[in-house]
Chain A
């Protein structure tokens, strides 16, 4: 038989006989005949494997991936290298074809790996507890806001959001909170490219503050000042990290009084994949653990006293609490969490620290190039990790289109979200960016600017 069915025709007949039916059609007798499909689906006939492979290959070849271009695009998805060991292990069907580990005795592999992941997230964020994963940085951000509202004893007030929070994430937060009766206030950014602390000082009804660090425009925030202000204003600080590799070198948000740390961990061994699947993470203080969304794995013992792991604190979750659950999340991004765990184990303490430093140095190289340029300018003077805004003085979209023809993914356009930055480009580097490519990017941008101005 074609496809993936194991039955022989003879077996089908035998099984029908056991059931007491004559045909497969009769299996659906509970469906009213008026609802039964009269026509076949308007889809092509099934194709053999080589043909499907060819068709997918045709579609794939009509795209230009990061590997075929000099990639300077970031803005939440970064062109870091994915070690082959990660791809290889991810194909192990023991991990990939298992379900959520509801039966712990035969799911210890997944459960221990998640427990390790939770530990790594705690180490990197400086928090006490982390969950098993969220979908992506955007949804993690939205869930963090909802969690802060549950934790807070204020029953009205405003959700404060930095305008240098990833614009897509801002929209996801909007979708998740649109029906709630809280105000939302956007805190502007200064000419330094950082959160405007004076604007924040003037707001008295805040419940929580969402700050991205490094922020969407690449700048590192003044975390120590923010920490002070948050304490003064009695705000729950949510720190969102879009470039997780920065956590390897930056003082962890937990050190700056963050109540919840969330973000996107695509940088840890996950392919860009046109934006998905990615990996959201969420970490918090232990005292708030029962307000957290998502799966959590805990350590326990088996009947004979052996160490083992189970999904725990389930009374927060939808399958127990139903409409009163902390979140509706069920399937999360377990396999992506496994990617991150493998990646972090591979690089390890020193490997990750060094990789972050190399990213930092690449960015410094680009920064110095821009500073030396007569035609290009850095938009903001604030320190950065591996991403920055370049002021071109010409339309950013135009520059991206022109450089694409020259084999560059020059950066991310800002004009749709920040009209005032229409003549700028958000440009990221990684360990894969060669100095030669940086030289060439700057040269080509300069030439374009010269021509266009």
Chain B
């Protein structure tokens, strides 16, 4: 069906840059019905006043709406179709949550408003922290980090503060070779030395950790389930080893979608972890944010959490700022509050059993894909997976690569999986279907992947030159990097 539709072709909707649509002299949108009366030079020193207005587009509301509406049609999104980016948890984003976050009592609230004016907001904050702590089996939560990577940084800074407080100079953080790039980057940003540890059959093992158990060890940072979709089953033993050497255990909770109500990181010996509300808790990714990366900790790390923190005294909610051991602030205010509202709304809607079902069905979908595809694609880790599975291009006919498979998938109407990651699998295709995909959608995706395998054998040129049905053909990324053009300039017009 997809093929037939494509033969009809898409409506061609070219859209120039917004600057190229300008009608010079257009007055633009007016917020208030008045014209300025005083020359700016009268009110502020002339040398501080702009020589001329900034060169912004000039087109007015109808044309602006049209410009962005047309641009939007060039995007693929979760609401369009299957978006199986591994470790990104591109699940359906319930619309209820969007409307809840738009309530003026949340969206219109000034962050400097006094506690008396923000009781409902503080209550939501308090309840969300409690719910996340319960889900993770941890003692305390901060919602301040604005994204997963900032959560990781927060966690690393907490570890740093903990050791400093104890007068210990521990410098090394162990990371498995399956770690997401933000892990080493966040550990390094917090001033730790990163040591990459080889995994065995995709898992971190006590044996690999053993050589590092000394006074330099600050801790281990691992993702569970890991980026191969495997549960780090030695985690408890590893945690005990790290703890007895005086170190801490950080868990990247990017893949928490697999664990809800199934098991709790707190029980595994994890001391600190971040979650991604924009993954597990269904808040939309926004084309690259805003996300939210709350951090949960055990009691020992609680004194170091970022301030301010919310508290409840009697029936009243309040903000507390004075924590002498706190790592300080990571955000200008409290974090991405409106993202919290959406996640809280999601948790209320799903409840304890709904959340557990999320993990069950995400694992069902991933394992179904893995099983159905094993005859056609190389599967480097053949055991059961959790919420995502990894394939590779190994043995593909006519040297068709993962990149080409990914581009061809677009022609079939799918967003490609995460590709070339994790690094331990050559030519990886990392597929996370999430629980909100139906069997029918999965079957369509499987059919497409199987067809691509056939095409690779019988019509490799078709695959190599894909995508064929996207608004633009394959883009030259090398050219972009070699000759950076990073902004529009007037002289380039026409």
Contact = CB atoms under 8 A, between A and B. Distances in A.
Contact of A83 (B29, B50, B104, B268): B29
B56 A103 contact: no
A277 B339 contact: yes
B335 interface: yes
B44 interface: yes
Interface in A80-109: 80-81, 83, 85, 87-89, 91-109
B371 A99 contact: no
A185 interface: no
A56 interface: yes
A61 B118 CA distance: 9
Contacts of A312: 477, 480-481, 484, 486
A325 interface: yes
Nearest to B467: A105
A169 to B, nearest CB: 6
Contacts of A289: 484, 486
Nearest to A121: B487
Contacts of A169: 332
Contact of B64 (A63, A94, A345): A345
A353 B30 CA distance: 11
A138 B134 contact: no
Interface in A6-55: 6-7, 11-12, 14-16, 18-21, 24, 27-32, 34-37, 40-47, 49, 51-53, 55
B54 interface: yes
Contact of A334 (B19, B182, B289, B361): B289
Interface residues of A, number: 205
B56 A5 contact: no
Contacts of B51: 251
Contacts, number: 710
Contacts of A348: 22, 26-29, 56-60
Interface string B97-129: 011101111111111111011111101100000
Nearest to A89: B68
Contacts of B231: 28, 30-31
Contacts of A122: 487
Given A30-B231, A277-B338, A318 B56 contact: no
A419 B108 CA distance: 29
A350 interface: yes
B181 interface: yes
B69 interface: yes
B213 interface: no
B78 A431 contact: no
Contacts of B262: 28, 31, 36-37
B231 to A, nearest CB: 5
Given A29-B384, A95-B72, A306-B472, A276 B83 contact: no
Nearest to B286: A335
29 contacts: A3-B350, A5-B357, A16-B364, A41-B356, A46-B352, A77-B110, A81-B31, A85-B65, A104-B472, A105-B473, A109-B73, A112-B17, A112-B71, A124-B54, A175-B328, A176-B189, A275-B331, A275-B332, A275-B334, A276-B332, A303-B475, A315-B481, A319-B180, A328-B150, A331-B149, A334-B288, A345-B59, A348-B22, A348-B29
Given A28-B386, A357-B36, 14 more contacts: A3-B349, A7-B364, A19-B367, A24-B360, A27-B384, A35-B235, A64-B117, A93-B284, A97-B79, A105-B407, A138-B330, A276-B337, A349-B58, A354-B36
Instruction: Please give me the 8 A-B residue pairs with the lowest Cβ-Cβ distance, nearest first.
Output: A275-B333, A351-B28, A46-B351, A62-B120, A60-B105, A65-B108, A335-B286, A275-B111
